[in-house]
Amino acid sequence: MGPVLNANILENEMFDEWKGKRVLITGASRGIGAAVARQLGALGARVAVHYHASAGPAETVAQAVRDAGGEAFTLQGDVSRSSEAQRLVDEAAERLGGLDLLINNAGDMLGRVALGDMDDEQYDRVMDLNARSVVMASRAALPHFRRAGRGNIIHTTSIAARNGGGPGAGLYASAKGFVSTLTHSMAKELAGEGIRVNGVAPGTIATDFHERHSNEAQLTAARASIPMGRLGSAEECVGAYVFLGTDTMSGYVTGQVIEVNGGQLMP
């Protein structure tokens, strides 16, 4: 676990808007989602920590949010299923008393599979988790945002959306490309309702994602392609989410995807 933002920054009145802000983060039991949740807790947010199968780690994250000064509870659900995504968002909004920010962070490669070895089941699993979940959770959030007259959505996409990903990651990369394009189209569609939509595209980040899906040779090659010469950490991605979630900092920012990759990709 890395440090939260500098205490002097947290005391800045610009961040006062986070106190009591109602946030749902999907896929928040580990990695980047967990790091974002902990930081938002330090800012005073009220956070619904979603998980699919990792109940213990999710509760650890929720407790870290509470320890940092925020409020938190956990919610279980399989966001790859439309009905579950709908239920999750509605339950989070009910328990929070509304919704100010949805962070669509749930996603996974679900294994490296070459095109020739791909079957319908693999296609459905990857696309449902990484693409369907974003569409359906966002759709479910709209009535809650509309009642409030405003809202904010941040999608987690990936450097793979631009560079096609590594070996066997083509389907995952394509799903993330879908998410990046969806960010732009949703931003155009919803701007008139006071709803901002942006994305964060992490590069090669040292989380259990790569422990599960990348070998040492692949990570060594990735390091060699990064001008900063190292992999990033989950905590180093957090600032982009805080910026996009802080209306006083990014109120005129929508339809953008912030790349966080140590210079690995410079679009």
**Cα distance between residue 170 and residue 153, in whole Å:** 26
Report the alpha-carbon distance of residue 97 to residue 82 in Å, rounded.
22
**What does the CA dihedral 209, 77, 33, 160 come to, rounded to 10 degrees?**
50
With CA atoms as reference, report the closest residue to 86 among 23, 26, 144, 137: 137
Cα–Cα distance between 195 and 261 in angstroms, integer? 27
- CA nearest neighbour of 234 among 17, 24, 61: 61
Two structure tokens written together for 175:
């799903």
Asked if 172 is an active-site residue, the reply is yes
Contact 108, 130 (CB under 8 A): yes
Q: What are phi and psi of 239, to 5 degrees?
A: -55, -35
Catalytic residue among 123, 172, 241, 252: 172
With H, G, I as helix, E, B as strand and everything else as coil, classify residue 194.
Answer: coil
Q: Residues with catalytic annotation?
A: 172
